[in-house]
Amino acid sequence: MADLSQFPITKRWPPVHTDRLQLYSTPTPNGVKVSILLEELGLPYEAHRIDIGQNQTWGPEFLSLNPNGKIPAILDPDGPGGKPIALFESGAILLYLAEKTGRFLPADPALRIETIQWVFFQMAAVGPMFGQLGYFYKFAGREIEDKRPRDRYAGESKRLLGVLEQRLATRTWIMGDDYTIADISLLGWVRSLVNFYGAGDLVDYAALTHVPAWLARGLARPAVARGLTIPAA
């Protein structure tokens, strides 16, 4: 059994099986990236729900794992060299797990870096823009009289959907025939933009063809359906 006692987070959320990967998350668009990939991989893991509504990410135990105070984060007892490793940032975790298992990331160097490029596209553009649109359209930002911030994020989100629409015009998945971590990184965000934030009309989602078809294919995967609800409430 791995000794995880060196990680303070295990005092607040103790593992039942110390030999399994520990996931600290909640099913937000960023959180489900990791749970979906873990379900796709079939790796044994334990999911610990972090209540962001109760500011649990700002407690000393969680901050000991992620000083940025955001979910998701993982603790892998079987890291490089067989030693435990702690990781935060969803994109970094996707890359780590894909490389660890040799799955959902092409082995060909050119295709590999192209896949990583699309993961970075999600991290740098889609996530921040869709998230801000959600704030200004559904959450507290909707109370702001000046609609220019909302409209700016709506316009940029619509543009980004256009980038995806063009990319998927001749492809089943972001990288072609193969489903990869690029798709996994994006599925939760596009789903949330339309279903959770309810901003489909604002970004003319109904005018798209290829993005909705891609999203439907992704949501039809059993591992995706499971991952969207992990950790359970």
pLDDT band, residue 120 (cuts 50/70/90): very high
Residue 223 predicted with pLDDT over 70: yes
| Nearest-angstrom CA–CA distance, 18 and 22 | 8
Q: Are 88 and 186 within one domain?
A: no
Domain co-membership, 114 together with 208: yes
Residue 147: per-residue pLDDT: 95
Name residue 60's amino acid.
P
* Residue 87: inside a domain: yes
Please report whether residue 148 resides in a domain: yes
Are 65 and 142 in the same domain?
Answer: no
Q: Which of 103, 138, 168 is the last residue of a domain?
A: 103
List the 85-88 sheet strands across, edge first. 45-49, 21-25, 73-76, 85-88
> Structural domain tally of the chain?
2
Domain boundary at 86, 103, 120, which? 103
- The model's pLDDT over 190-204, given as tens digits with 9 standing for 90+, comes to 999 999 999 999 999
201-220: pLDDT as tens digits: 999 999 999 999 999 999 99
pLDDT band, residue 2 (cuts 50/70/90): confident
Shared domain check, 90 and 148: no
Polymer length in residues for the chain: 233
Q: Are residues 35 and 98 in the same domain?
A: yes
Residue 92 maps to a domain = yes
Which of 51, 70, 103 is the last residue in one of the domains? Answer: 103
Q: How far apart are CA 18 and CA 152, in angstroms?
A: 46
Between the alpha carbon of residue 212 and those of residues 5, 99, 206, the distances in Å are 45, 29, 8
Would residue 76 count as lying in a domain?
yes
**CATH number assigned to the domain comprising residue 148:** 1.20.1050.10
Residue 1 lies in a domain: no
189 and 155 share one domain: yes
DSSP readout, the chain?
----TTSTHHHHS--S-TTSEEEEE-SSTTHHHHHHHHHHHT--EEEEE--GGGTGGGSHHHHTT-TT--S-EEEESS-GGG--EEEESHHHHHHHHHHHHT-SS-SSHHHHHHHHHHHHHIIIIIHHHHHHHHHHHTSGGGG-S--HHHHHHHHHHHHHHHHHHHHGGG-SBTTBSS--HHHHHHHHHHHIIIIIS--TGGGTGGG-SHHHHHHHHHHTSHHHHHHTT-S--
Give per-residue pLDDT as tens, 80-109. Answer: 999 999 999 999 999 999 999 999 999 999
pTM across the whole model: 0.96
Looking at the fold, whether 57 and 114 belong to one and the same domain comes out as no
Examine residue 53 and state whether it is found in any structural domain, yes or no. yes
Contact 219, 16 (CB under 8 A): no
Domain containing residue 131: 109-225
User: Would you say residue 1 has pLDDT above 80?
Assistant: no
How far is 43 from 157, CA to CA, in rounded Å? Answer: 34
Residue 90: give its domain's CATH number. 3.40.30.10
pLDDT tens string 36-86: 999 999 999 999 999 999 999 999 999 999 999 999 999 999 999 999 999
d(CA 131, CA 31): 13
Same domain, 31 and 94: yes
